């Protein structure tokens, strides 16, 4: 039989982690299989059809810088784009796009189907093939055996998934899809630390039953942001509005009255839910003094009437859901097309992973996405890309690579998961990164594309575009450095009104740009204007690197200091219980986390600078 059954990398699961993993491995030139329950659901957004947001768009841009799919698919599917925090500094600015879920899936599937070295196969994975303690393939529901050098599991919310609506519950991976039961049982027999988490989604509403005239319209930005470095506004489909309504006292009364039938509050659900994306019943309990919460009414696409009411995720019984939705302004006659629900699923303690996302207990087995305790498409996609890439590197006999915390949010994500683990669904925020000014969403390509190219992840087309951009930034910076404005000249008169004090000596355009209130556009063409104006992406880089030069160099010094600690390894078998002076709590945390370096130890909650000094002393004694 010439049906292919031997691969370098097998990826199980075609969600956001799985699709990025499979694309990354295949881009690196290794023979890759993507095995998933259903080819129709490749790239499906289980919950809100939106990509990006604060902290998350940073991950999307990093995936893009390494030539992943998410940002480009968003440009092809985004129906409302906004820059969040646009008035704040560049470190916390973020791009968010409401996506048409059908267009998004189509874009991802198109990329998968046209990716060289990638095979797709629709079946459930029921078991792993293990040889000498290493994962060497998978077995499908109909007994087909696929062999491989490495396996990446990206099973999302499907492992042992249980769906709850009110006091009723049933097995499911998400609404309409079966749970993964066989594989969950096999994995539970392995020596991994497994626990349960929970997440939820709101009911969906038919737009034809909604009165938009009494709601506040929320249009996208006038100048539409673009998600991918290779994207453009020309890729964007038609742009439409979202709307805003609110819960009120009546809504809250309805929820309180239904609480005795809430699976969350009656103890039926045991898994911990996402702190930053709580259900509406959670919000009513936690913020009891608030008498209203904002609800964003978001279209699910251009060719469907379905709406996503963002902010009212719930697992209350259906009759309560209907009443609470209809208590809100504009939704008095709303027709619910799908009930909201909560789902509980198995996740693995990410402290059992290496930085490559390979498991510590089984060689050649990698985990990525929601299976590692994270929540969100972006967190999943970023891990997927990393796991797929490292699985491919292993199959090629090469060393693994993971960006450091000072190189990428992806580095922050992996380091947080591995050193601290997580007891609740982990989502990314800019506040999790200590080097925010360096890890901006606008410079992810400058941070990562060269490395991605070296690893074989980045196409020649993207590499050429990147080199051109880098060169243009350098040239424009040089031009502005060597173009001088002299006092009492027509050029000086043009810029003086923008300055607190008129210029009294010669200034380069670059120096003028450093002055508060002066923007690139104010100075760029005062002298030696370039024949062809530079792109927005180039002018943005020139402006940010000049305006924030002081902060950026200070962070660079901090990074250098930390790197010295990063280079101090902590032996894997270190006995923390014998180290004098460490509290029992710190000893226990270090023994559990087994940080790879002194710097990783310092990031564990509760490990104080004093404890780090004690570790250093102990290491010196051991040497």
Residues that bind ligand FAD (CB under 6 A): 12-18, 35-38, 41, 46-47, 124-125, 154-158, 173-174, 177, 180, 183, 199-201, 274, 277, 313, 343, 369-370, 375-377, 380
Flag whether 14 is marked binding.
Answer: yes
Residue 293 Cβ, how far from ligand FAD at the closest point, in Å? 15
Q: Is 502 annotated to bind ligand?
A: no
CA 620 remoteness from chain centre: 39
In the complex, minimum distance from the CB of residue 502 to ligand FAD, in angstroms, rounded to a whole number = 51
Secondary structure class of 286 (helix, strand, coil): helix
Supply angle C-alpha 53, 59, 64, rounded to 5: 115
Question: Of 339, 336, 340, 314, nearest to 205 (Cα)?
Answer: 336
For residue 458, the minimal CB distance to ligand FAD (Å) is: 22
Query: Please, which residue, 383 or 419, has the CB nearer to ligand FAD?
Result: 383
309 is in an annotated binding site: no
| DSSP label at residue 415 | H
CB-neighbour burial class of residue 454 (10 A; exposed 0-12, middle 13-18, buried 19+) = exposed
CB of 316 to ligand FAD, least distance (A): 14
In the complex with ligand FAD, the residue whose CB is nearer, 148 or 154, is 154
DSSP string, 232-259: -GGG------EEEEE--HHHHHHHHHHG
Shortest Cβ 188–ligand FAD spacing (Å): 13
Q: Output 357 or 615, the one with its CB closest to ligand FAD.
A: 357
Tell me whether residue 287 is annotated as binding. Answer: yes
Tell whether residue 281 is among the known ligand binding residues: yes
Compare residues 199 and 247 and give the one whose CB is closer to ligand FAD: 199
347 vs 435, which CB is nearer to ligand FAD?
A: 347
Q: Exposed, middle or buried, 209 (CB in 10 Å: 0-12/13-18/19+)?
A: middle
Q: 340 a known binding residue?
A: no
Shortest distance, position 51 Cβ to ligand FAD, whole Å = 10
Closest CA to 298 of 105, 15, 79: 79
Nearest to 233 by CA among 536, 602, 581: 536
In the beta sheet, which residues pair with residue 52?
96
Contact partners, residue 494, CB within 8 Å, separation at least 6: 526
**Is 15 known as a binding-site position?**
yes
Q: Which of 161, 328, 170, 169 is nearest to 262 (CA)?
A: 169
Q: Which is nearer to ligand FAD, 285 or 559 (CB)?
A: 285
149 labelled as ligand-binding?
no
Q: How far is the CB of 79 from ligand FAD (least distance, A)?
A: 19
Residue placing its CB nearer to ligand FAD in the complex, 125 or 393 = 125
User: Is 491 a known ligand-binding residue?
Assistant: no
Q: How far is CA 260 from the centre of its chain?
A: 35
Helix residue spans in 189-235 (DSSP H): none
Name which of 52 and 411 has its Cβ closer to ligand FAD: 52
Task: In whole angstroms, give the CA distance from residue 394 to residue 397.
Answer: 5
List the alpha helices (DSSP H) in 140-205.
182-188
We find the least distance from the C-beta atom of residue 590 to ligand FAD, in angstroms, to be 29
Q: Which is nearer to ligand FAD, 72 or 343 (CB)?
A: 343
Contact 370, 271 (CB under 8 A): no
Q: Is 163 annotated as a binding residue?
A: no
16 assigned binding-site residue: yes
- Quote the CA–CA distance of 434 and 551 in Å, as a whole number: 13
The answer to whether 361 and 341 are in contact (CB under 8 A) is no
CA 46 – CA 317 distance, rounded (Å): 20
Closest distance between ligand FAD and the C-beta of residue 260, in Å? 23
Annotated binding residue 223: no
Give SS3 for 386. helix
CA distance 432 to 561: 19
List the binding residues for FAD.
Answer: 13-18
Annotated binding site: 13-18, 273-287
Annotated binding site for NAD(+): 273-287
């Amino acid at each position: 039989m010439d049906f292919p059954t031997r691969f370098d990398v097998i990826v199980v699961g075609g969600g956001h982690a799985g699709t990025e993993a499979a694309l990354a491995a295949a881009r690196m030139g290794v023979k890759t299989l993507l095995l998933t329950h259903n080819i129709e659901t490749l790239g499906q957004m289980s919950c809100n059809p939106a990509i990006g947001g604060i902290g998350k768009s940073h991950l999307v841009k990093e995936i893009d810088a390494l030539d992943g799919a998410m940002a480009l698919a968003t440009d092809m599917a985004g129906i409302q784009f906004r820059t969040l925090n646009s008035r704040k500094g560049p470190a916390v600015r973020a791009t968010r796009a409401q996506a048409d879920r059908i267009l998004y899936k189509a874009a991802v599937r198109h990329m998968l189907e046209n990716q060289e070295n990638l095979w797709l196969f629709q079946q459930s994975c029921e078991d792993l093939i293990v040889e000498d303690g290493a994962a060497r393939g998978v077995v499908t529901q109909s007994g087909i055996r696929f062999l491989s050098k490495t396996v990446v599991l990206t099973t999302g919310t499907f492992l042992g998934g249980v769906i709850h609506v009110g006091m009723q519950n049933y097995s499911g991976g998400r609404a309409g899809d079966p749970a993964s039961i066989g594989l969950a049982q096999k994995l539970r027999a392995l020596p991994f630390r497994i626990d349960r988490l929970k997440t939820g989604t709101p009911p969906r509403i038919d737009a034809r039953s909604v009165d938009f005239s009494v709601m506040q319209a929320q249009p996208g930005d006038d100048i539409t942001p673009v998600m991918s470095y290779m994207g453009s506004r020309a890729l964007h489909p038609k742009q439409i509005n979202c709307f805003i309504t609110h819960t009120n006292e009546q809504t809250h009364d309805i929820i309180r009255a239904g609480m005795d039938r809430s699976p969350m509050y009656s103890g039926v659900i045991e898994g911990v839910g996402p702190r930053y994306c709580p259900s509406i019943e959670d919000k009513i309990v936690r913020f009891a003094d608030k008498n209203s919460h904002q609800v964003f009414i978001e279209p699910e696409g251009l060719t469907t009437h379905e709406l996503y009411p963002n902010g009212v995720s719930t697992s209350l019984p259906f009759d309560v859901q209907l009443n609470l939705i209809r208590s809100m302004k504009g939704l008095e006659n709303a027709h619910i097309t799908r009930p909201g629900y909560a789902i509980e699923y198995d996740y693995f303690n990410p402290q059992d992973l290496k930085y490559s996302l390979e498991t510590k207990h089984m060689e050649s087995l990698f985990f990525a996405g929601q299976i590692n305790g994270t929540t969100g498409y972006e967190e999943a996609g970023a891990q997927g890309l990393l796991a797929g890439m490292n699985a491919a590197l292993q199959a090629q006999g090469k060393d693994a690579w993971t960006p450091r915390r000072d190189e990428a949010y992806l580095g922050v994500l992996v380091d947080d998961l591995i050193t601290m683990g997580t007891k609740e669904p982990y989502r990314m925020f800019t506040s999790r990164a200590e080097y925010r000014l360096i890890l901006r969403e606008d410079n992810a390509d400058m941070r990562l594309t060269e490395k991605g190219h070296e690893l074989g992840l980045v196409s020649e087309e993207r590499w050429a575009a990147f080199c051109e951009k880098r060169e243009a930034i350098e040239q424009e910076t040089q031009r502005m450095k060597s173009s001088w404005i002299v006092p009492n000249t027509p050029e000086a008169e043009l810029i003086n009104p923008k300055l607190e004090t008129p210029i009294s000596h010669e200034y380069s355009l670059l120096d003028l740009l450093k002055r508060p209130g002066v923007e690139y556009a104010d100075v760029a063409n005062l002298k030696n204007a370039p024949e062809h104006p530079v792109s927005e992406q180039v002018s943005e880089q020139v402006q940010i690197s000049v305006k924030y030069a002081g902060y950026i160099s200070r962070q660079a010094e901090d990074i250098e200091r930390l790197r010295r600690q990063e280079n101090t390894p902590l032996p894997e078998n270190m006995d923390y219980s014998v180290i004098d002076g460490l509290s029992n709590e710190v000893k226990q945390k270090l023994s559990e986390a087994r940080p790879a370096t002194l710097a990783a130890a310092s990031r564990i909650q509760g490990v104080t600078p004093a404890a780090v000094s004690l570790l250093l002393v102990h290491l010196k004694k051991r040497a």
